Structure 1
Amino acid sequence: MSKPILVASVPRACSTAFERVFMTRTDVLNCHHEPFGEPFYYGPERLGSRFDGETSETKALRDDTGFSHLTYKDIVDQLLYKSPENLQQRRLFIKDISTHLVPPPGKPGIAPSLSAFVTRDYHNDATRTNGTLTKGHVSNGQKKIPLKGRDSSNPTVLPISILSQFLVTFLIRHPNSAIPSYYRCTVPPLSDTTGFHYFDPAEAGFREARILLQFLIESGLLKKEDVVLVDADDLLDNPRAVVEEYCRRVGIDFREEMLSWEVKECEEFEKWKGFHEDAMKSGGLKARKTKKKLKSDEENFKEWKEKYGEEGAKLIQTTVRENIPDYEWMRQFRIVV
């Protein structure tokens, strides 16, 4: 059985439409939709600040999701060790968001519940906490977890012994498109559906995607020539060719019918309401009629200002500029067809 595929996407990179392509292959694939978002936002090891806090209201919000008890280990167990799909010999296809896999600045790296999976090497007891080397341990706020060996340089939530079990691929989109799209989900009227009531630049995801990709390369888990990365603009311009090449690289037989699907509600997307409606209603992945026109910074700012006001436009513009270097670095690895 080939390795499970893990697509690490930045937010708003047409990732649900991309995922929907592979959801058509129930004969050989079993798809999982953003499972690591549950412990990231709601669980006892949560790293995201959006639903953090110990007020009765915040606790009730987390409890109401049904995910407040889930740790990263629970998700890993479900995917790799307890999943009935493993018995059915169907390959796992997991789409998740890069921010769920790499902690925010200042937060510890490997999830505490996965400490037993840390690679041991007693010749090296340095520790990397979110990209910063310390000595000997990482604090999770309650106890200290020793990190040793190759995991001493691991900036992700997953130990190498687990990360190495996945074929990690990437999906990105130019910040000029991805970030204003994400901003739209965090302001009225759409925020009333998503439950994301403010825009957090830390959730842009480009930093985390680059950190993950760099670590995979530097640790030897992935050769540069083997990186599989899709740019959403290429996908939208030529979906058939890009999907076919992606399939070839990850070992899935491509079929033309993967590019179309029945328009219906998907239970898998219910936990993140408001983020997936376009993909659910599309009925397929079709090439856009004309390539997206490149706009000047002035044109973009004017458009954002008209939609979101001066303050919103400035926040979007700043966030876009901060993330372009990471996007451009990753884009060198994109699939070219």
Structure 2
Amino acid sequence: MLSSEKANRVRVIAWTVPRSASTVFMKSITANGDVKGYLEPFTTAEHFGPEGRLKPREEVPAEPTYTVEAVKEWLEAEDTSERSVFVKDLAYAVDGRYHVMPKGYRYSFLIRKPISVFKSYYRLFSRMPGDPEQNLKDWLPKDVNIFKCLSDLVGYVESTLKEDFCIIDSEDIMKNPAEMMKKYCDKVGLIYNEGLLHWEQGLPEEETWVVGDAVRAAEADFKWMENMTKSTGWGVGINHPPVQGEEFPKVVYDLAEAALPYYDHCRNHAKCINLDQQL
């Protein structure tokens, strides 16, 4: 059960969708050094692991130790004697195999408006080699609505596991980082202070963030997380802000339209904390 009472040490997992400012969110959570982070371990298994359901890109190495069962064991073995533990991962990576979700974690969900997500995705692939529209189609799981995966996972945690949880919108955080980060920490039991609003540039070292070699290699080549690595706070130092008058292909709007009902379900859920709520 989540509580407004702050615990000294907790284990928290935030399920999300790609391009939701979730890596900046994780950087914020771990900024003061009191929290150990895991960056998308299930997604690493899904894209690069030996049992992954998605074909890895040829440009990055495989991850032979990353199976979903191994990730579950690693996370359940984490203790909180020295630091809290925070895991950020993508809901589609566990879609259809919820049995691998680690026990002993407090659940949360990070959402973002679908049109912002898919424009950001297209903008990312426009900076990479190849056709951005085809890259977008190839990277996402085929015939899978990533927002439906997130909404379905909310339903599973609520109705099957009957665990408490919270939902937070990254666009609310961007509007008022101090208020929203405080509300989130209060809900999941992490300790909030102003140190969560500012950080050093770069991808944290392994002792702070557990990150697969494939992910670090992909970041070095493609700069997927450049908005996070170049930032020094929420909205500070972002390298690729939206450009007025940008044009996007039809697939971006089609994906956003298909995702909107599932985003709305999460956004309007009673467990969604927002700027209008009192602490």
Q: State the TM bucket, normalised to the shorter chain.
A: 0.7 to 0.9
Coordinate RMSD, CA, aligned: 2.9
Superposition map of 1:160-171 within 5 A? 162-171=101-110
Within-5 A mapping of 1:148-159:
156=98, 158=100
Residue 87 of structure 1: CA displacement?
6.9
The residue type equivalent to 1:99 in the other structure is Y
Paired residue total: 245
Please tell me whether residue 25 in structure 1 is matched to residue 32 in structure 2: yes
Q: In 1, Cα distance between the equivalents of 2:256 and 2:245? A: 14
Residue 165 of structure 1 aligns with an amino acid whose one-letter code is G
The secondary structure found in structure 2 opposite 1:95 is: strand
> Superposed, which structure 2 residues align to 1:197-212 within 5 Å?
197-200=135-138, 202=141, 205-212=146-153
Q: How do residues 44-83 of structure 1 correspond to structure 2 at under 5 angstroms?
A: 44-48=50-54, 50-51=55-56, 61=58, 65-81=61-77, 83=78
Task: Flag the structure with larger Rg.
Answer: 1
Is residue 2:189 matched to residue 1:251?
yes
Q: Which residue of 2 aligns with 1:94?
A: 87
One-letter identity of the residue aligned with 2:48 = Y
Alpha-carbon contact 1:172-1:231 (below 8 Å) kept: yes
SS in 2 for 1:230: strand
Equivalent of 1:282 in 215, 231, 234: 231
**Which residue, 242, 248, 255 being the options, matches 1:319?**
255
Q: TM-score, length-normalised on structure 2?
A: 0.77
- Displacement, 1:185? 2.5
Aligned partner letter, 2:160: S
Change (3 A) 1:270 1:336: same
- Counterpart contact for 1:183–1:199, Cα < 8 Å: no
Which residue identity is paired with 2:231?
A: S
The structure 1 residue matched to 2:15, chosen from 8, 25, 34, is 8
| Aligned 8 A contact 2:9 2:83 in 1 | no
Alpha carbons 2:76, 2:102 under 8 Å: kept: no
| Partners of 2:189 and 2:53 in 1: CA distance | 33
Contact 1:3 1:165 in 2 (8 A): no
**1:271 Cα deviation from its structure 2 partner:** 4.5
The alpha-carbon distance between structure 1 residues 322 and 36, as it changes in their structure 2 partners (threshold 3 A), is same
Query: Unmatched 5+ residue regions in structure 2?
Result: 1-7, 206-210, 237-243
Per the normalisation by structure 1, the TM-score is 0.65
Distance (Å, rounded) in 2 between the aligned partners of 1:318 and 1:218:
30
User: CA 1:87–1:254 in structure 2 vs 1: closer, same or farther (change >3 Å)?
Assistant: closer
Cα distance in 1 for residues equivalent to 2:67 and 2:116:
32
1:176 paired with 2:176, answer no
1:39 is matched with: 45
Counterpart secondary structure, 1:264: coil
Pair 1:213–1:163, CA change in 2 (3 A): farther
CA distance in 1, matches of 2:80, 2:193: 25
Instruction: Give the superposition deviation at 1:221.
Output: 2.5
Alpha-carbon distance in 1 for matches of 2:28, 2:129: 27
Q: Which amino acid aligns with 2:157?
A: L
Report if aligned partners of 1:170, 1:230 keep a CA contact under 8 Å in 2: yes
Q: Which has the higher contact order (CA 8 A, sep 6+)?
A: 2
- Whether 2:262 is the aligned partner of 1:331: answer no
CA pair 247-198 structure 1, distance change in 2 beyond 3 A: closer
Which amino acid in 1 is paired with 2:255? Answer: T
Give the deviation of 1:94 after TM superposition: 0.5
Amino acid at match of 2:44: E
> What is the letter of the counterpart of residue 239 of structure 1?
P
The secondary structure found in structure 1 opposite 2:108 is strand
Q: Please give the per-residue CA displacement for 1:211-256, whole angstroms capped at 9, x wherever unaligned.
A: 100111111422xxx4311111111111110000001011112101
Q: 1:266 to 1:44 in 2, by over 3 A?
A: same
Deviation digits for residues 14-64 of structure 1, max 9, x if unmatched? Answer: 11111001121323x21111111221012232122x42xxxxxx7xx48x6
- Aligned partner letter, 2:42: F
One-letter code aligned to 1:278:
N
Aligned partner of 1:270 in structure 2 is 216
